[in-house]
Structure 1
Amino acid sequence: MRTLWRFWFCGLTAFILSACASLSPETSAPRNTLILISIDGWRADYHTRGLTPNLSYLADNGATGQMRPSFPSLTFPNHYTLVTGKRPDHHGIVGNTMRDPQRPGVTFKLSDREQVTDGFWWKDAEPFWVTANRQGVKVATMFWPGSEAEIHGARPYKFATFEDHLPPTTVVDRGLAWFDAPEAERPQALTLYFSDVDHAGHDFGPDSSEVGVSLKAVDEGIGHLMAGLKARGLWGKVNIVIVGDHGMTKHRPDTFIKVAELLPPNSATVYGGQAAGFIPNPGKESMVQAALLKPHDHMQCWRKRDIPARFHYGMHRRVPPIVCLANPGSYIVAPSRDGWMPKPQGGSHGYDPYSPEMFTRLIVFGPDIRPGVTLKTFDNVDVYPLIMRLMQLKPQPSDGHLRDLAPALR
């Protein structure tokens, strides 16, 4: 009898241990809602200016750290990196302006809605809302680059057409309204996007009072979100992930570079800016290379195959044959701009992502986050695996990993 009892007990124990071991993250704990928030142009040190008490509360009671953008440190490439975990050279959004040999004569620009909403440009990667949709999880996007396009045959569960300069509280109200649907119809993740900090930095520079005003407005929006979640009984059931896409540095007008003074007319197609692309016209290749690949005072140029390895850039078909990178504060002005110059009192981004002025920030807060954690500086490709872990979803292959963000997780 004792032997039989021992056999029964050991068998039951083994069965229980086996069952527990087989539980997936989805079944071992409830899935908390995720809210992913982008503050465009949110430089890492803006957090220390004493203007954002709500953001400070979330950082102090959650986890925070400086985040290095991907190259080029521009808006569209980095927003797509944050939701795919892939660097621009892998996900294909290699700039805010770009061409693709598969679409001769067509130029992708932020201002061209026909191209921005065309899934062709976004199909080299899969954003988390497409993956979530396939796994039965609803994601709503209140503005996010790429979210208005059909990608791999799918769109977000809910999405909004981008409107610039909306007050952050309005953006929050529109996003929260989706949570007021019947429970079965509510999204399990939401993205929000605030643009005005970036605009103020471009127009007036990162140290301006106007940036301070925009930071206060964003922080008011964050407070409005917190109050809205509490009013809906969702506080304590939501993980909030707040990110920037890049930093900002002040212009140095005496260092601006005029391409028209380096190249004769009609010698190349030029996408100017901080990281500028050059496509030599037929028969002009040697002349353009000779003019650009020599030393310059305020920029450095490379053939795409020679771009420094630390930038993880230069393999994708959309990367131009020659890429020039301005020094922080300088600007490469394309001749097509017809006399236009950047605002001398303003600022820019797009520079070397290892420049501290380009660093941005992560704040993550919620029931699945350990409080009081300060993270070491990390690459923004790591945000995607964090999002997928918090949403209990199986991620797509990416360039990111959880090693540097694991201390933030309970």
Structure 2
Amino acid sequence: MRNLLTAVLSLLLFSVAGLAWAGERPVTILIGVDGFRADYLNPEDAPNLSALAARGARAQGMRPSFPSLTFPNHYTLVTGLRPDHHGVVDNVMEDADRPGQTFTMGAKAISGDPFWWDGGEPLWVTAERAGVRTATMFWPGSDLPIRGVRPSAWRPYDKNVLASARVDQVLAWLAAPEPPTFLTLYFDDVDTVGHYFGPDSSERRVATRRIDTQIGRLDAELRGRGVDANLVVVADHGMAGVSRDRIVYLDDLVPAEAIRVVTFGAGAGLYPEPGRKRQVEAALLGRHDHMTCWRKSGLPKRMRFGAHPRIPAIVCLADTGWMLSTHARNARWPMTNRGAHGFDPYDPAMAAVFVAAGPAFKPGVVLPVFDNVDVYPLLARLIGVTPQPNDGTLGPLVPALAP
């Protein structure tokens, strides 16, 4: 009789534990594949991602925020704020409160100062404050204390860590005694190779397959271990082909000594030197061959950009496929890249990938193009936290959500 009672109690306890497990919120993993253009998603180059999209939802494209650069858009994805609002307005920035400093991707002593990032609250900070454990595997801004909070687990960015090792780290965190509920995972290969060889190169396609293989491995491991997970795969921007024959030289329009250029590339941000404002504006503002320049306050409204004090006084944007430089700069650092981004976010070449699959998503849904600020309220919903005030809306993604 005692053995029978013990068996019944054990069965009841097992059933209760099973119900509790079934009621737990699935893990959410945000996967960022830098430079993965929307049209790279095809069964030949990305079979695993294509299969993931068939099991869930994908978008025809996701529109980056302006400027369509790495740091601004990665931070937009996790804050729901436009760069004009969160303050990471470029990969290269200056701020009057940090005289003599220039924020760049390579200057970790400067870019690692939370001062540059505190204009927005990334989702892992909000989650940690709500008691939700998080882990970040290489996401811009995730390896420093923002508003005094770090993820429960994180790794300082190291480009030399292989994609396979990054996946291994995520799987190790999920196997820990207290696993995180929200994780980020970042890959840079597709962007790097796209810059060097161009978006249509065989080298870029090989890099795409390499990262697709690792995403497929992650998905297979999670399912094999019985981990209930929502995977959200995004990119910060697309990529366009460029060449050394398509360069607009700013000093062909205005004397080099009349301007101080902060940023070069698909876009340029610059200041007139003291006493040269009228001359510089007369020479640059307006439409030119393959380039348009505006005062920061006069940018087209659709760009939603131009108010933040870190934005230089004059912003120039090249036509897609062209680059902005000066003769002196190009002599010191000749342009050799065959791919670039930073162009008009409404150009299809800048459209980023979006794929989401898991218990929260309906299978086989194809969404029209939407703005990347809308990813943030989706993520907040998936992990069950109240989002901070943001520029996004869940509306465009509702058709992809399961009841």
Q: TM-score, normalised by structure 1?
A: 0.89
SS at match of 2:164: helix
1:306 is matched with 298
1:267 is matched with 258
Q: TM-score, normalised by structure 2?
A: 0.91
1:218 is matched with 211
1:11 is matched with none
**Residues 259 and 280 in structure 2, CA contact (< 8 A), matched pair in contact too:** yes
Gap regions ≥5 residues in structure 2: 1-21
Which aligned segments of 4 or more residues in structure 1 are displaced greater than 6 angstroms? none
Deviates more, 1:396-405 or 1:260-269: 260-269
Which residue among 204, 221, 245 is the counterpart of 1:254?
245
2:12 is matched with none
**Distance in 2 between the 1:212 and 1:84 partners?**
31
Whether 2:93 is the aligned partner of 1:98: answer yes
1:56 is matched with 50
**Distance in 2 between the 1:99 and 1:106 partners?**
7
CA RMSD of aligned residues (A): 1.8
1:383 is matched with 375
- Report deviation, 1:165: 4.6
Gap regions ≥5 residues in structure 1: 1-27
Which residue among 223, 227, 234 is the counterpart of 1:243?
234
Write the letter of the residue equivalent to 2:140.
P
Which residue among 65, 82, 85 is the counterpart of 1:70?
65
**Residues 139 and 189 in structure 1, CA contact (< 8 A), matched pair in contact too:** yes
Offset from partner CA, 1:21-69 (integer Å, 9 cap, x none): xxxxxxx953111100001000010012612111011100100001000
Whether 2:147 is the aligned partner of 1:156: answer no
Change (3 A) 1:284 1:187: same
- Report deviation, 1:231: 3.9
1:39 is matched with 33
SS at match of 2:275: coil
**Distance in 2 between the 1:364 and 1:147 partners?**
22
**Distance in 1 between the 2:225 and 2:274 partners?**
62
**Residues 380 and 387 in structure 2, CA contact (< 8 A), matched pair in contact too:** yes
1:370 is matched with 362
1:17 is matched with none
- Report deviation, 1:339: 3.1
1:195 is matched with 188
Whether 2:170 is the aligned partner of 1:178: answer no
**Residues 165 and 195 in structure 1, CA contact (< 8 A), matched pair in contact too:** no
**Distance in 1 between the 2:166 and 2:315 partners?**
36
- Report deviation, 1:338: 4.3
Offset from partner CA, 1:286-330 (integer Å, 9 cap, x none): 222122114310100000111000000000111110000000010
- Report deviation, 1:267: 2.5
Identity of aligned residues (%): 50
Write the letter of the residue equivalent to 1:90.
H
Deviates more, 1:374-383 or 1:273-282: 273-282
**Distance in 2 between the 1:139 and 1:178 partners?**
10
Deviates more, 1:274-283 or 1:316-325: 274-283
